[in-house]
């Protein structure tokens, strides 16, 4: 089943959404669906006690990411 959702976002968030859409060719809806899937995964991983890390392959530096409740 599909549901239609309307919500308000800031101009900054809208501009970011449009930029990602232009860069990827994805629809706004698909970007939001992907973001929800990624957030859900990140939330589940952190709730399981795992740490999310972004690693730079060139210098091996790491940035840890915290997901808010």
* Residues whose CB falls within 8 Å of the CB of residue 27, separated by 6 or more in sequence, listed in order: 21
Provide the pLDDT for residue 8: 97
pTM (global) more than 0.85: no
Please give the chain's pLDDT, 69 residues, in tens.
Answer: 999 999 999 999 999 999 999 999 999 999 999 999 999 999 999 899 898 999 999 998 998 887 766
Q: Where are the domains of the chain?
A: 11-65
Cβ atoms < 10 Å from Cβ of 32: 15
Provide the pLDDT for residue 64: 87
Provide the pLDDT for residue 68: 67
Task: Please give the sequence-ordered ranges of beta strands (E in DSSP) within 1-69, or none if there are none.
Answer: 52-55, 62-65
Provide the pLDDT for residue 21: 98
């Amino acid at each position: 089943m599909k549901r239609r959702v309307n919500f308000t976002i800031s101009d900054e968030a809208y501009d970011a959404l449009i930029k990602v859409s232009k860069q990827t060719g994805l629809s706004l809806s698909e970007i939001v669906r992907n973001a929800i899937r990624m957030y859900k995964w990140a939330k589940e991983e952190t709730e399981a006690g795992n740490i999310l890390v972004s690693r730079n392959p060139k210098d091996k530096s790491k940035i840890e990411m915290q997901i808010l409740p």
